[in-house]
Structure 1
Amino acid sequence: MKNLNLKQTSLISNDKIISFIEKTYTKKDIAKIFVGDTVKIGVRIKEGNKERIQYYQGIILAKNNSGINLTISVRKVFQGIGVERKFLIHSPKFESIEIIKSSRVRRSKLYYLRNIVGKGSRLKQRFPKK
């Protein structure tokens, strides 16, 4: 809000003010992620007075919202039990994202993977175009 004068705020709509504030908090170094990608996400965890990064690896089931409110649902199978977690991409606790594998999918939400177990849940790999 340093660059905005009070005289200018009356002339600018609320949407523009909100988008200006959101722009300062959005992360610019986030890779392009798609539904179906297998990702490794680093999240800051605070234990007592120490802080460390915990990694969570799984398949992106869905992307919700846009802009600063962008969230992704990531699913992994741990000891035979499916675990899903939602991540707010532009959160200060969100450290990094690394794309391990990209898959070719024809849906925007992969919720059907919740019911499929084993080899049936495999997705076809997408290779980058040359």
Structure 2
Amino acid sequence: MSDIIKFIEQDFGADARKNFPSFHAGDTVNVHVRIREGNKERIQQFQGTVIQRRNPNSNGETFTVRKVSNGIGVERIFPILSPSIEKIEVLREGRVRRARLFYLRGRYGKSAKIKEKRHFRESK
């Protein structure tokens, strides 16, 4: 039974999976989301820190983005295969040691900051 489910998921995921950049928990991303209001459609950007990624490499994969808007924390859960996601931009790569950053919910100000990952270049 599970073989049939995996086979169907592979068929479904092959054409539906978009080419999004690689991102992890701690990264700051800008998610372009399609919003429908009546018969009109527009693209809205949701910029924040990735708190977690669930079920990697499966069709049920989701990621949670958190931002603080007017002093209130707002979190959205996006399915990777959602047709409403137009594109994902990685703005900053964060240096974290955990896969789930739920501790950010209780923090604000400087203690909620995440250090940026450094990339060193080799000298020739």
Same fold by TM-score greater than 0.5: yes
Contact conserved, 1:25 with 1:68, CA < 8 A, in 2? no
Task: Report percent identity of matched pairs.
Answer: 42
State how far apart, in whole Å, the 1-side matches of 2:52 and 2:106 are. 16
1:33 maps to 2:27: no
Task: Flag as ranges the 4+ runs of structure 1 deviating above 4 A.
Answer: none
How far has the Cα of 1:21 moved from its partner?
Answer: 2.6
Q: Secondary structure at the match of 1:69?
A: coil
How far apart are residue 22 of structure 1 and its match? 2.2
Does residue 105 of the first structure (1) align with residue 96 of the second (2)?
yes
Q: By how many angstroms is 1:128 displaced?
A: 2.7
- Note the residue ranges of structure 1 that are not aligned, 5 or more in a row: 1-12
Normalised by the length of structure 1, the TM-score is 0.84
Alignment: residue pair count? 117
In structure 2, what is the equivalent of residue 125 of structure 1?
116
Q: Mean Cα displacement is larger for which, 63-72 or 107-116? A: 63-72
Q: Which structure has the larger Rg over C-alpha atoms?
A: 1
> Which amino acid is the alignment partner of residue 62 of structure 1?
Q
Amino acid corresponding to residue 124 of structure 1 in structure 2 = K
Alignment RMSD (CA, Å): 1.2
Q: Is the 8 Å Cα contact of residues 9 and 59 (structure 2) preserved in structure 1?
A: no
Deviation, structure 1 residue 25: 1.5
**Aligned partner of 1:117: which letter?**
Y
Q: Which runs of 5 or more residues in structure 2 are unaligned?
A: none
Tell me which residue corresponds to 1:5: none
